[in-house]
Structure 1
Amino acid sequence: MLGTLNLSFYIILGILTILLSSFVAFTFSRYHELRQHPSGLLVSLSICEVIMAYHSIIFALDSSRYIKWIKIEQTFDLLGLDSLNSAGFLCGINQILLSASTIACICYNIAICLDLIITLYNPLIPGSVRKKWYHGLTASSVIYFTVYANYENKFIYACTSNRWNRLEIMNSGSVNILLLVYLTIGMTSIIYSACRFANGLKLDSHANKYYLIRHVLYVMIFTLCWTGPAVSYLMRKYGKDDAIGSEVVDSIAIATTSASGFFLGILRLSDPVVWSRVKRLTSFDSSMEKISEDAWTQPVSVIVQGKLNCELTRCIFEGIHSAFIQMKESKQEEDSYFATKKYSTKEIKKIKRDTEAMNVWGVRDSKLNGMILDVYASDIFTNIVNITGFSLDDLIESLNPDNNQNNEVNQSAGKSGSFFLFTRDKKFAIKTIKKKEKQIMMKFLRAYHQHLSEYPKSLLCKIFGIYTLKIPGVTAIYIMLMQNLLYMIKPNSIYDIKGSTKGRTAKKNGVFTSPLKDLDFIANQEHLLLTLDDIDVFKNQLLADVKLLRMNRLMDYSMLIATSDGYENAEKPQHSIYSLNREKVYTMGIIDFLTEYGYMKSIEKNFSTLRYGRLSKGASVANPSRYSGRFVNFILSVVIPIVRRNSSYIIED
């Protein structure tokens, strides 16, 4: 058994950690804005702290006595296990859960520090993508280090806590390896952010300074709390375990690790915004003033969602705008658009910016007086602009940075988490894409260009450029310029239709978000009423477009459908059709077609089949042939009902 002092530390501080971390997890789960990335990581972290503290208390109390006290071993009599074996088995489970929760706590703290670095390096990396990586890496670390630690621990079935297994959580040094990683990343996040701000990164928000101070405190508290186990481990490893101070070190280590969740919980709740939500949560007064948005609402993103994103978007507009001006000034070769080399060209354009503009990124270097824009297949995309009825003058005017100051950056609600930026006149949209999507588009460009040349009124979303933007101090950003399908209309409803019925609804927690999806279209009993001539034209174009996508092994695309009462001016936008009674206008276009059916999609399809069985036919992922057939069938049987639902609609080659 542990000494009375150590046992008191374990129990009292462990109980305080359980209570406070549970309250933190509940508070953050209660409010949607606190669940968003990256503050949503604190929910997982707090739950891990509760598990760690609970199993630490069990271990300290002597697992065998605790098991007998709650009589849990009696339930194993039904399995034919005697009390000794069942107690040993339960002790082993406790040791494993204690190790796993401890490792998870450290990993989530590493993720919080790493996210600050990533955010300052590129604020347009989607939070949904980061969150998946953080959870995945944490799970992998937990599995590896837990198995490693418990394999090395010869006392995994030992139920009695004593001097030699007092700090089982740090055995074999596995936890200390993660602590060293945390210390490295935590200090790097502090130094990197401090250097960025000291070297010119200026953001107009008091919350920025306030958050950075809080982040420094967070790293310092966590580091101090976990220094004890590391020192204890090193003393034992190098044969100084019998030294006079070893007992004192062990007591400190037990106290600080047991209290780490408690101290960090106080820091989390002390934030004014979180505290205002706590007061609202514990108050029955519904007349309380609206909660402000600041600090821990999005603890890292708050630093960049304001001024930094505005500066980044200005860089994007300046880069593309300058590129089109240079294209207009350069003389193009006539009748050369279909030359093979034109589809793979890359022009490197240097865009100059004044010193003050560059300093906003926290990069002060006399040699860095601008940014670099890689422009791909400019002649081909210029021709696509002309095909669709626009001109370079239209693009130059819409993309003028002076006309697009302080534009909002909107994040996609889809899986990609891409960011959208619209020109102030709403004619064009700029979307951040992945490197893989850029590669797919360049591979698809020849077929896409030739298809638009043959079908100028194609339903496919019109893409006017692919670029890689390189700004000093920020990672490379891949962007795509395209037509805004909803230009000149005020939609009453917007649908994103994939032809899939598995989970395809925009209803979450009883609330609908935009755009609506396939199941919502069916539930609302929507259908588009068109003249026979319009139906014939639409059907033929739909089949031609989908055939092109299928031939190029593309899938996961959507039909964007918007209904409105009319146009904002006399000019009729592309992709729009009057309803049969001419009281409504339907705007339609095929979007998000840059997903190739490769190995990963094949694996996802097989997993969907194993998970849902026959129901997997309605899942979103499918091979290009099946996806295209299901997509067309849904459009022509539900959206524009001219064929029987689920009929075997064959798209001829």
Structure 2
Amino acid sequence: MELEGRRDSVQYVGMQKGESRGSSRRRRLFWKLRQRWKLLGLFEIDKEHEFYTLTCDLKEGLRDAIQDVFQSDVPIQFTDEDYTSKLTQGHNGYVMRTYAGSLFQHFRQSLGMSEEGYQHSLSSCGHYLQFISNSKSKADFFLTNDKRFFLKTQSKREVNFMLRILKNYMQHFQAYPHSLLVKILGVHSITREQEKKKYFIIMQSVFFPDERIIGRYDIKGCQVSRWTEPEPEGSQVLQVFKDLNFESKVICLDQQRSWLLRQTELDTGFLRELNVLDYSLLVGFQPLHADEKSQNWSLANLIVRTKT
């Protein structure tokens, strides 16, 4: 008998007829790697990883999808058909679909992003990274090698909901460019041979660049099951803490307090109108250099700076 690790469980499987000893050793090594990966928050999806071929297909498919939309003329005014448009591209072994591509391109441009930079991040030769959190979500999270963008798997129902509210979502950002809402930059699906269709969205990482971030928090405004046990000092595990971990922390906003409260009210009001109940505020702690302390940056301008 051989022990094979899975993400949520451990299952015993029998050695298949004709399986070589070398293959068995490789499978055991792979299982050990997967157990080690479970202990880390962020790790590279290299050739030994179960998602390696999937992410290679994603990079190739996204490169071509972005190129196709980039070469198309973006309309001055959008119609209802633009919100329901779907670009289908066949590749060797899989099919990539892009939803409302011209609208998301327009949205990225409004955020000051270049299509060349966006395409390069998503399709560079560097391996994607996988982020495993303590979230209850069953979604898979991938991060581009430069850590600028997240790819998150979605259910068909979630994607349909996003596309249904897309016009409202973009109108909200047009009215409030300093919104704290996550910036969703694309919606796609991939169908690989003999596999079910996978839907996913692309989001801007709010923690980019992350070299100086010393703490990450996911704040929901409640206390039930909102504690994450800290790892021992010196641990390399990437943790996202919760409300109860944040209790002793203080953020001095001074004159910017009123702006933050107002923008939070606007954003949560927008989500409430859409009957979206489960959301949280991501907070990162980053020490300032001496020269940065002397610069009078507003919180709103800091938020806008994260878009480029």
Q: Determine which of 73, 86, 97 is the counterpart of 1:346.
A: 86
Letter in 2 for 1:209: S
1:453-472 aligned at under 5 Å gives the runs 453-472=174-193
Pairing 1:316–2:58 present: yes
Unaligned runs of 5+ in 1: 1-27, 29-33, 42-111, 114-185, 198-204, 213-270, 274-291, 299-303, 353-368, 579-584, 590-653
In structure 1, the residue matched to 2:217 is 495
Preserved CA contact (<8 Å) 1:459 1:542: yes
In structure 1, the residue matched to 2:269 is 547
Deviations 1:178-233 (CA, angstroms, capped at 9, x unpaired): xxxxxxxx8xx959xx8xx9xxxxxxx95x53377xxxxxxxxxxxxxxxxxxxxx
1:155-554 aligned at under 5 Å gives the runs 190=16, 208-210=23-25, 293-294=32-33, 306-334=48-76, 336-337=77-78, 339-350=79-90, 352=91, 369-402=92-125, 404=126, 406-489=127-210, 490-507=212-229, 514-522=239-247, 525-532=248-255, 534-554=256-276
Letter in 1 for 2:242: K
- TM-superposed CA distance for 1:317, in Å, is 1.2
Bigger Rg, which one: 1
- TM-superposed CA distance for 1:485, in Å, is 0.6
Change (3 A) 1:396 1:483: same
State the alpha-carbon separation in 2 of the partners of residues 456 and 550 from structure 1: 19
Change (3 A) 1:539 1:38: same
State the alpha-carbon separation in 2 of the partners of residues 37 and 325 from structure 1: 37
- TM-superposed CA distance for 1:341, in Å, is 2.0
TM-score (norm 1): 0.39
1:570-609 aligned at under 5 Å gives the runs 577=299
Preserved CA contact (<8 Å) 1:412 1:419: no
State the alpha-carbon separation in 2 of the partners of residues 509 and 412 from structure 1: 14
Q: How many residues align?
A: 284
State the alpha-carbon separation in 1 of the partners of residues 274 and 80 from structure 2: 18
SS of 2:32's equivalent in the other structure is: coil
Change (3 A) 1:327 1:553: same
State the alpha-carbon separation in 1 of the partners of residues 29 and 145 from structure 2: 35
State the alpha-carbon separation in 1 of the partners of residues 66 and 75 from structure 2: 16
State the alpha-carbon separation in 2 of the partners of residues 497 and 431 from structure 1: 20
State the alpha-carbon separation in 2 of the partners of residues 430 and 463 from structure 1: 10
SS of 1:399's equivalent in the other structure is: helix
Letter in 2 for 1:347: L
SS of 2:88's equivalent in the other structure is: strand
State the alpha-carbon separation in 2 of the partners of residues 391 and 295 from structure 1: 36
- TM-superposed CA distance for 1:308, in Å, is 4.0
Change (3 A) 1:565 1:293: same
State the alpha-carbon separation in 1 of the partners of residues 7 and 172 from structure 2: 41
Which stretches of structure 1, 4 residues or longer, exceed 4 Å deviation after superposition? 294-298, 508-513
- TM-superposed CA distance for 1:491, in Å, is 1.1
- TM-superposed CA distance for 1:502, in Å, is 0.7
Preserved CA contact (<8 Å) 1:211 1:295: no
Preserved CA contact (<8 Å) 2:178 2:303: no
SS of 1:430's equivalent in the other structure is: strand
- TM-superposed CA distance for 1:561, in Å, is 0.2
Letter in 1 for 2:258: D
- TM-superposed CA distance for 1:417, in Å, is 3.2
Structure in which a larger fraction of residues adopt strand: 2
State the alpha-carbon separation in 1 of the partners of residues 34 and 262 from structure 2: 53
Change (3 A) 1:528 1:401: same
Change (3 A) 1:586 1:332: closer
State the alpha-carbon separation in 2 of the partners of residues 374 and 472 from structure 1: 15
Change (3 A) 1:294 1:550: closer
SS of 1:464's equivalent in the other structure is: strand
Letter in 1 for 2:104: F
- TM-superposed CA distance for 1:460, in Å, is 0.3
Percent of aligned pairs with the same amino acid: 24
- TM-superposed CA distance for 1:510, in Å, is 8.9
State the alpha-carbon separation in 1 of the partners of residues 81 and 263 from structure 2: 29
Unaligned runs of 5+ in 2: 38-45
SS of 1:431's equivalent in the other structure is: strand
Q: Which moved more, 1:512-521 or 1:377-386?
A: 512-521
SS of 2:56's equivalent in the other structure is: helix
In structure 1, the residue matched to 2:43 is none
- TM-superposed CA distance for 1:474, in Å, is 2.9
Letter in 1 for 2:61: G
In structure 2, the residue matched to 1:21 is none
- TM-superposed CA distance for 1:458, in Å, is 0.7
Comparing both chains, which one has the higher relative contact order based on Cα–Cα distances under 8 Å and sequence gaps of 6 or more? 2
SS of 1:328's equivalent in the other structure is: helix
- TM-superposed CA distance for 1:558, in Å, is 0.9
- TM-superposed CA distance for 1:505, in Å, is 0.4
